[in-house]
Amino acid sequence: MLFVGCLMALAAGVWFVLALRYNDMVVGSAIFLTVTSTFTSDFFAVQTGSVTLTLDRVWIVCLMLQLVYNIKFGRFVSRPLQTSDICLAAFLGWLIIRTLMEPLGEQVKGQPSTVMHLLNGYLIPALLYWLIRFSRVDEKSIKPAVVILLIFGVYLGVTAVLEIAKMWSLVFPKHIGDPTIGIHFGRARGPMIQSVRLGICLNLCLAVLWTCVWWLNPKSKWAWGAVIAISPILLLGILLTYTRSIWMGAGAIIIISMLTLLQGKVRAMALGGLFVSTVVAGLIVGPSLVAFKREYSEAETRESTYMRAAFAYVSWQMFFDRPIIGFGFNQFQVYNRPYLDDRTTNIRLESIRGYVHHNSYASILVDLGLIGGVLYSMVVIAFGRTTFELWRNQAAPRWARATASLTFSIAAVHAIQMAFHEVSFSTIEYSVVAIALGLCQACRDDFQGASLSVAKARVPYRPMQSHYQPGYEARSHAQG
């Protein structure tokens, strides 16, 4: 048995070396997204002391070894730091400071410890950003990553349909069918055991499908056949999450795709048709979106809508008491209890007792104060400028500009989810954005010089013209 184990370890080592040789950070990050979303701790976990090993954490170690390999063999790309990098580092620095100033363990039963919240929600996504930021990025690495994400999206869409149809024998992994694990049982929730995370991944795959086919293979019949075949699967999966913010995210992708992929009258007609259809649909089904049957009754769905007011009120009161530095990262449930006893308002504040925060913007202000809010805003503005500069760069290749268009869609989906949920409890939400921003920043740096040289080349040489024109005297004499 020991001999067999040694052979298996040797084979795994050989395959790992080959993966380091032929893999890159872009493909590795796409694999990480599929692994961290599909093979969660409910699927596989090994407890080693105080550390829980899961497949996504093992893959993070593999990516770190990939970085060492890249540095050793000249595949590490040294790019100068930009304003966005400095803003991100400043925000993460303040986040770590406000984490270390508070208890690091589990403060409320059922809530992740502060350290794991920081690691999963922010530090691992930031690591992915920096790994891609200083790695080789080209079309050769983009296309395999696109294929991986599209296969992942088809799997998620089909799984969502099987969940709603209650065909549990065909669902993988099997823990998806266990109502005692995770939340949102009764909606499509995927292997993440949570509808919002499933919807974010489906929206990511939808944006990748539309954007990358348009920019990478606009003349390929096979590519457009994939769009026609896969789009209904992804859209149906998004619908079956029964999550309004996810539906809004899909709508944002449609609008951004029209703005960035279409031009002229076609774009105007498409946007006009979308506006009219949205208004009509809002008049018809708008009231039912406030209360519709999901995993619970319509009354409970309506109650979840009204709870937003309670979160906003309590958050504002807490922010007003500690406006500069906040209460500390991951401390909302620890310090909000006295505020829930406020009887000066008609808002049912007790309805949110025991709930984690449901608005990431307010959560940042409560936890990190005005300093954290300003630093986060600076990060958003800096990366928004980077993405827009890459999008406007006509000298950049199509695949590079595709990363900007894709980043617009992903950022819009993420911004919408932040308004309705706390998106930092897993590695999924911020990792999706971090990978897109890493690609965008790398491409912007690589092709910024090309845009300047092309702009200079496009300026025609125009010699100074003299007021003297040949034949002037003859014409003047004839006219005289």
DSSP string for 230-241: HHHHHHHHHHHT
Which two structure tokens, joined as six digits, stand for 208?
């990748």
Which two structure tokens, joined as six digits, stand for 359?
């608005």
Q: Is 170 exposed, middle or buried (0-12, 13-18, 19+ CB in 10 A)?
A: exposed
Tell me, what's the pLDDT at 95?
96
> Does residue 11 lie in a domain region?
no
pLDDT tens per residue, the chain (480 residues)? 444 445 444 444 444 554 555 568 899 999 999 999 999 888 887 777 656 778 888 889 888 888 888 888 877 888 899 999 999 999 999 999 999 988 776 666 667 788 889 999 999 999 999 999 998 888 888 989 999 999 999 999 999 999 999 999 999 999 999 998 888 888 999 999 999 999 999 999 999 999 988 887 778 888 889 899 999 999 999 999 999 999 999 999 999 988 887 777 777 887 787 777 777 766 666 565 555 555 555 555 555 667 888 888 999 999 999 999 999 998 888 888 888 888 888 888 888 887 888 899 999 999 999 999 999 999 999 999 999 999 999 899 989 999 999 999 999 999 999 999 999 999 999 999 999 999 999 999 999 866 555 545 444 444 444 343 444 344 444 444
Query: How far apart are alpha carbons 53 and 325 in whole angstroms?
Result: 34
What is the separation of C-alpha 82 from the centre of its chain, rounded to a whole number of angstroms? 21
Residue 12 host element (H or E): helix 2-22
Q: What angle do CA 359, 361, 367 make, to 5 degrees?
A: 95
> Does residue 64 lie in a domain region?
yes
Burial pattern 426-449, b for ≥16 Cβ within 10 A else e, equals bbbbbbbbbbbbbbbbbbbbbbbe
> Does residue 286 lie in a domain region?
no
Give the residues across from 322 on adjacent strands. Answer: none
Please state the length of the chain.
480
Residue with tokens 């960035």: 260
Among the listed residues 394, 405, 323, 336, the one whose alpha carbon sits nearest the alpha carbon of residue 364: 323
Tell me, what's the pLDDT at 106?
61
> Does residue 150 lie in a domain region?
yes
State the alpha helices, DSSP H only, in 241-359.
244-261, 264-285, 298-321, 332-335, 337-340
The answer to whether residues 59 and 32 touch, using CB atoms and an 8 Å cutoff, is yes
Provide the number of structural domains found in the chain.
1
> Does residue 462 lie in a domain region?
no
The answer to whether residues 133 and 67 touch, using CB atoms and an 8 Å cutoff, is no
> Does residue 299 lie in a domain region?
no
> Does residue 292 lie in a domain region?
no
Tell me, what's the pLDDT at 356?
84
Tell me, what's the pLDDT at 459?
45
Tell me, what's the pLDDT at 465?
43
> Does residue 14 lie in a domain region?
no
Give the CA dihedral 310, 312, 313, 316, nearest 10 degrees. Answer: 150
Query: How far apart are alpha carbons 208 and 66 in whole angstroms?
Result: 25
Q: Whole domain around residue 338: which residue ranges?
A: 24-72+85-273+307-450
Please report the sign of the dihedral spanned by the C-alpha atoms of residue 345, residue 347, residue 353, residue 358. Answer: negative
The answer to whether residues 408 and 391 touch, using CB atoms and an 8 Å cutoff, is yes
Query: How far apart are alpha carbons 301 and 448 in whole angstroms?
Result: 49
